[in-house]
Structure 1
């Protein structure tokens, strides 16, 4: 409660405290109905799921980048990393797995440089 109103820590902690049934003095009116508490709990569950998915997506992107770098025999440039992230979103994991496993390093570099890579 000592944190500023707009502190991100407060915005994350408050729903969690409500979820576990802590009373937040001065934060919630005494006559708050169960549906408001349920709404907060559902929001927090949704937030957690979204954060988990973002973590999974980031893990996929990093794993693919490592495979691409091994196949290329060098570190990827920032532009190549951006291209890889865009193509992962557009083409999906299976297609990028196929690309990295079937193309040699030189062809893979050309695929990354081609704006219409499929």
Structure 2
């Protein structure tokens, strides 16, 4: 039984190594660029205007016929995904802009009073 356990662990390591070799390390950047749900304006998350980000996300979400949920949820999910995946690499100033864009997105969809 001990050897069977060791064999499974070795097999698992090989399978994991194989999976990571096939996928690029920055898979989240690929999702942001080539989202199947939303057609995003290029470099929209680099904008310094929260209203512009929110309006662009809203426009993309409303126009999309490939999304699986409501336009609001799709837009908010993409924004949250970007913030979470950028992590430590996202400058604090830009993170603040993106957090404000969340509020602007709520206002744009009538989910919160301004």
TM-score range, shorter chain: under 0.3
Larger Rg: 1
1 or 2 for the larger relative contact order (CA 8 Å, sep ≥6)?
2
